[in-house]
Structure 1
């Protein structure tokens, strides 16, 4: 059936209205919202020409550079509360007036600030988001450390004859003998930004306990009596346990929930529920908590190569009670075919920063099998890249 040019425009107008209506309808359903977002991105990808795609990628680093600059300049906080001229912003931030104009131009095009008139700028929803310490700190880490490694990645791969990175890209980028996490511990400000990133990731992603059958996976069969229910290994500031505790009152009770991390991270915790036990622990050493119902790791194994991941997993497996304990890994689970963009880019991010990797279902199964564990199930949330890998001791 042939359509005239007028028909196309009518259909485009109808589509515009339908998309606006649908976007509003799914705004309170995170899974549906993410599906619509994914469909929208697929539509954009099918419409962009090769030249448009490559041209857009030319300037993506420039956008990030502008955003990183305004965070350091304090412009988001200065604009909140009312539109201000570049001259007024210069007075508030002690930054050059003309620099402010040039830096804000592209960010206004991206909706991060609004252009209210000649050299006059206001706030948008994005501006408000940029004042969040978690989002701002997370972006600083991704720009200062992760992006720097990605920019250096090709040079590093050339030097290593294009071998899969085995731990040297970060060291080469920052001219250090330290890997990422020891380096962060030696740079407290950068460690703070990394911790902010871990917290910020919770703002945009679905938690495993929001879509999994927690009672079936975790609570059924629990032996109780305030014995350890869930040990969050490398749990940062304990956000996952806090969220689980709020949603499921059944897990209340001192000693049931334990967050483990390195001493500097545990010392940085300030607002965690007192019933959650804080424990200093290095997951390269034997697990001190024996026979818990479940051991949980979020975005830990993807930091490491298979060889190093096996060391971590063996320490967990040695503490597990066969037929009772479970290992729960909330991480990226890529499909064997047709991996989504976010998961694919995260794999490159892990490669550049840590020589880690995002794994497919086949790779997860093989890795766990190699340390005496077997996959019970992959609990996936629609087409979202993350999933909960449930595993037990292999008989």
Structure 2
């Protein structure tokens, strides 16, 4: 028996007994590897060719209301019943749902009769559908323009600026453009919320006592323990507050005005502060400043601007900067962060960085990397830094 297949059987037996997430991921990687070996080159290429069609079908199903209709029904629905619920053409419904059923995004119960699958239910959750819409409506359009945009510069730039602007014929970068298009901004917010689902929080990746709570200083309630810079709607701070409800020190959430104003569910103890991280950091001498999914949006030059303002506010020997992002290995990177790097290139001219690239970037900003926490290449790492 092939050694990898034997490993699969051993891991499957272990997973059946333990439900361990590390084991599940190892099994999934073996399945993907074996699929690649079983496919012919023709099948591999045509699978990739047809993937946009599948996404288009799902985007149409979301817009037609089919996903919500199936997710909310306790019984299978015929295409006729779905037509009555959504006011969409019955034959069109069948055509749209057919490829989704093949990929188990919905279930085909019988002839032209459908019901929800686990994926259907997941897509109906707040935030998930909006995130898919953003990636299809905005990100996918930009990625389609990458080859022609790079060709204009004879493929000289590894991190092009302007794919988004080129795609949407606008002088505005993505974030200012989104502020002028609130529907897409909402979908982007949903995307950020949806990314939290199923992901391990930073305080489960690192030793929080060692990183944050030890030698915290005077233990005064008016001290600032953690500043979430560009923290969106506050998901990470809320999770932190829930896990450590008795932690001394203030928690501060910072973001742009329209983001802060859109916050719905956040502990009242968390201070909400309007702040643009390209301007001087107003909270000085905090125990820790936290960045998640910020620096991968920008080029090294822009990152230096962001980091400089934080470094200026840090107290040497006391303050820390905590960065929770992908740290790519030099070889054998996982699929998701590899594709996320292309996504960053398309939308913002940003990038996912390797450990060596992180060190160069942070040292250039006057920071010393204490440790990279987390060894799972399919999950984010916490980068613990101090001011030099």
Fold-level similarity (TM above 0.5): yes
Worse-superposed segment, 314-323 or 334-343: 334-343
When structure 1 is superposed on structure 2, of 260-269 and 221-230 the one drifting more is: 221-230
**Structure 2 matches for 1:254-333, cutoff 5 A?**
256-333=250-327
Residue pair 1:30, 1:206 contacting (<8 A) in 2 also: no
Are the counterparts in 1 of residues 328 and 377 from structure 2 also a CA contact under 8 Å? no
| 1:136-178 deviation digits (Å, cap 9, x = unpaired) | 1111111111111001111111222223244210001111111
Distance in 1, Cα, partners of 2:161 & 2:31: 37
Match of 2:355 among 354, 361, 386: 361
- Residue matched to 2:174: 180
Task: Say which of 21, 31, 38 aligns to 1:40.
Answer: 31
The more displaced of 271-280 and 46-55 is 46-55
Deviation for aligned residue 1:390: 0.7
Distance 2:55 2:134 in 1: 12
Per the normalisation by structure 2, the TM-score is: 0.94
Describe the superposition over 1:117-139 as per-residue Cα deviations: whole angstroms up to 9, x where unpaired.
11111111111111112111111
Is 1:155 the counterpart of 2:151? The answer is no
Query: Could you list the per-position Cα deviations for residues 76-135 of structure 1 after superposition, in whole angstroms to 9, with x for gaps in the alignment?
Result: 121232111111111110111111000100000011111111111111111111111211
Q: CA deviation at 1:270?
A: 1.1
- Residue in structure 2 matching 1:88, options 78, 81, 84: 81
Per the alignment, in what secondary structure is the counterpart of residue 257 of structure 1? strand
SS at match of 1:204: coil
**Residues paired across the two proteins, number:** 382
Inter-CA distance 203–381: structure 2 relative to 1 (3 Å threshold): farther
Q: How does 1:30-69 map to 2 (within 5 A)?
A: 30-69=21-60
Partner of 1:231: 227
Structure 2: state its 5+ residue gaps: none
Q: What is aligned with 2:91?
A: 98
- Cα 1:295–1:41 shift into 2, 3 Å: same
After TM superposition, give the deviation of residue 24 of structure 1 in Å. 4.0
Deviation of 1:343 after TM superposition, in Å, equals: 1.4
In the alignment, the residues of structure 2 paired with residue 19 and residue 217 of structure 1 have an alpha-carbon distance, to the nearest angstrom, of: 33
Runs of 5+ in structure 1 lacking a partner?
none
User: What corresponds to 2:123 in structure 1?
Assistant: 130
Residue aligning to 2:105? 112
Task: Look up the SS of the partner of 1:202 in the other structure.
Answer: coil
Could you say if the C-alpha distance between residues 30 and 126 of structure 1 is closer, same or farther in structure 2, counting changes exceeding 3 Å?
Answer: same
Partner SS, residue 28 of structure 2: helix
Tell me what 1:351 maps to: 345
Checking the alignment, whether the CA contact within 8 Å between 1:233 and 1:297 is kept in structure 2 is yes
RMSD value over aligned CA atoms?
2.0
Does structure 2 conserve the Cα–Cα contact (< 8 Å) formed by 1:340 and 1:385? no
The offset of 1:38, in angstroms, is 2.7
Does structure 2 retain, via aligned residues, the 8 Å contact 1:283–1:312?
Answer: yes
Query: What secondary structure, in the 3-state scheme, does the structure 2 residue paired with 1:236 have?
Result: coil
Change (3 A) 1:363 1:145: same
Contact 1:75 1:93 in 2 (8 A): yes
Given that 2:293 and 2:324 are in contact with CA atoms closer than 8 Å, whether structure 1 keeps it comes out as yes
Encode CA deviations 1:333-380: one digit per residue, 9 max, x unaligned. 011222222111111110011000010010000001111111111101
Give the distance between the partners of 1:16 and 1:129, measured in 2 at CA. 27
Q: Distance in 1 between matches of 2:62 and 2:253?
A: 31
Partner residue, 1:73: 64
